[in-house]
Amino acid sequence: MYIRWVVRKHKNAEVANTNFYDAYLVESYRDERGQPRQRTVAYLGNIRQINNEFPTIERELFLLRADRILETLPELTENDRQEIREALRRKIPPLNRDEVIRAFTANLTWYRQWWEQNGCPLTDDELLSIVRATRGGMEAV
């Protein structure tokens, strides 16, 4: 089995430097006459490439969705799943630590601004309480 990438250009390529990458899980086999053929096992999702880069959050969402789809395919062994995940990650790299910190900081900044604009600003202690609550999966106080 392998990943077949189908790349589509944005319909208005002069304005948007965007491509769409569709990932299909494909297997090779021989038909009843012995001729080599391929069949699609599953559609694993798509991701945009903007200005030759895959956006950070879209990379993570794409990989999460593809993992969930792979888990639903009973014909795959765990070794198959791992090889397919590695092939996906060679094309669409997972987030690194710095990217996660930048995304977390940007999200926290947005939430803090929202709270302030809506008349319910949080103190630093309240924000820290929210962050600490994530360790145990408990509600923040």
Radius of gyration in angstroms for the set of CA atoms belonging to the chain, rounded to a whole number: 21
Half-sphere exposure of 17 (CA within 13 A, CB side): 5
User: In this predicted model, what pLDDT tens digit does every residue of 90-115 receive, in sequence order?
Assistant: 999 999 999 999 999 999 899 999 99
Using DSSP's 3-state secondary structure scheme, residue 23 falls into strand
Give the pLDDT band (50/70/90) at residue 136: confident
Q: Cα 107 vs. chain centroid, distance in angstroms? A: 17
In this prediction, residue 139 carries a pLDDT of 55
Q: What is the pLDDT of residue 13?
A: 65
pLDDT in tens, 34-90: 999 999 999 999 999 998 899 998 999 999 999 999 999 999 999 999 999 999 999
Q: What does pTM read for this prediction?
A: 0.76
What residue type is 130 in one-letter code? I
C-beta separation of 45 from 62 below 8 A: yes
